[in-house]
Structure 1
Amino acid sequence: MLAVFDMDGTLLDGDSTAVWLWERVKQSPVRLLAALAVLPVALPMVALPSTRRAGASVLLWIATAGLSERQLAASCERFAQALRSGRNSLTWKAQALSVLEDHAQAGDRIVVVTAAPTCLAKALLDTLDRPVELLGTSLKPVLGGWVADIHCRHQRKCQALAQAGHGARWTYAYTDSLDDLPLLRAAERPVIVKGGKAAERKLLRAGLQNARAAAW
């Protein structure tokens, strides 16, 4: 069986990319001033699905300008080690890790598919020491910084899974967001990890009669 997990908000209790970028930006007065200057434009872009990739790329470029590929990987690794030692604001969700461990013990294949940059997600997931496959957003160098190349969100997550050899259907899907509706619709047992009646109503309105809401 194949169990597919989102990462930010599902396995983690926040947005790893946003926290990582902020940690990088606030270390440099120049980066901080540049980020504050573009925030009024970039944040509304990030909020809209149609412009999310472009808005995120602007902030990503500011935070990574001047980094080589090796330095980019090192920055992600330092961030992951800060998470491991409790030195940043992110934490893994205990219930999520318990469910992930249950799938591992059952012999299920586990894939984490996330909109976070692959280099960042890999560094974070490596701290768990669990057998998971990763599919994330690829980055490319532009004018001395890094921007999103193929943004792994919404329908693109399903395409990434298909290209990785997992087909068009899976047994389980776990996410905190209906932006992952294509991922949920392709699952036999979709779960949105927000409990309560409001989450259940959203699932019903989306036509996911076989879905359930879980309080993680």
Structure 2
Amino acid sequence: MPQPPPAPRPIAVFDLDGTLVRGDSFTHFTRALLRRSPWRAVAAILCVPVLAPLYALHPTRRRAFALLLRLATIGLPPHRFAALATEFAAERTSEGNRIPHTVDRARAHLAAGDRVVVATSCAEPLAAAICRELGLAPVDVIASRLTASRTGMRPLPACRGVRKVERIRAAGITGPITHAYTDSSVDLPLLTAAAHRYLIDPSPTHLTRIHTRLGPTYVVLRSTEPSTP
């Protein structure tokens, strides 16, 4: 008698910033790169009157950040950029920056044999380095991509919103998403695709947006609560 097919392996998808670590990792990294060199820091300060209005508006924010990223990385070889990202990851995962209850959940999913995916708008190779520092191995890291040029690193379309789900599927992860963890309503497409939804210390604004779209179909996890899935 033929054996029934094995049950599909559960898939748990985690956002990175605000979910596993606090703050915007790649923005902090870009600032650190600017501070490494006096001339870069001075140039960034001189650009503030031009970039600040662009950064304040959502439609032009990506353009402003792209200009800062180029300024921070012009003349920096890709292998050196990757090495600096690895060094910076240790700082980003210090005790005060990591979010322990969510990291514990990711580790519990790994221990249970689940497929764990970290899908983030943070760029490679920083996202992968942070996951290594958090002890989350092996996980699938799906992150925003950069392209190197003589004028510095240029960001490609970010891995966020509906594009995050598209990137997960394009990576060959086609099974049902069992669990999704995020702090942000930007991840509504991911939450919609998941069977079980977890919000990590969400702000009132993000919580309201998610509740309006999905109703009470999620679990809010606060830092003071137990971390067992």
TM-score (norm 2): 0.83
Of all paired residues, the percent bearing the same amino acid is 32
Asked if 1:101 corresponds to 2:98, the answer is no
1 CA distance for matches of 2:153 and 2:204? 41
C-alpha contact (below 8 Å) 1:53/1:151 kept by paired residues: no
Segments of 4+ moved more than 6 angstroms: none
Residue type at the aligned position of 1:24: L
Cα distance 1:55–1:203, how it changes in 2: closer, same or farther (>3 A)? same
The 5 Å alignment of 1:1-216 reads 1-43=10-52, 45-46=54-55, 48-83=57-92, 86=94, 91-130=97-136, 131-167=138-174, 169-194=176-201, 200-216=207-223
> Which stretches in structure 2 are left out of the alignment for 5+ residues?
1-9, 224-229
Does the C-alpha gap of structure 1 residues 197 and 15 become closer, same or farther in structure 2, counting only changes over 3 Å?
A: closer
Mapped to 2, the partners of 1:147 and 1:31 lie a distance apart of 17
Q: Residues 45 and 51 of structure 1 are in contact (CA less than 8 Å); yes or no, is this contact kept in structure 2?
A: yes
Matched to 1:32, the amino acid is A
- Describe the superposition over 1:129-188 as per-residue Cα deviations: whole angstroms up to 9, x where unpaired: 322110001101234300102311111101100101122741111111111111111111
CA contact (8 A) 2:11 2:175 kept: no
Are the equivalent residues in 1 in contact too, given 2:13–2:118 (CA < 8 A)? yes
Q: Which has the larger radius of gyration?
A: 2
Contact 1:196 1:215 in 2 (8 A): no
**Whole-Å Cα distance in 2 between the matches of residues 211 and 5 of structure 1?**
15
Give the number of equivalent residue pairs.
213
Aligned to 2:158, what secondary structure does the other structure show? coil
For 1:146 and 1:198, locate their aligned partners in 2 and report how far apart those are by CA, in whole Å.
33
Counterpart residue identity of residue 56, structure 1: F
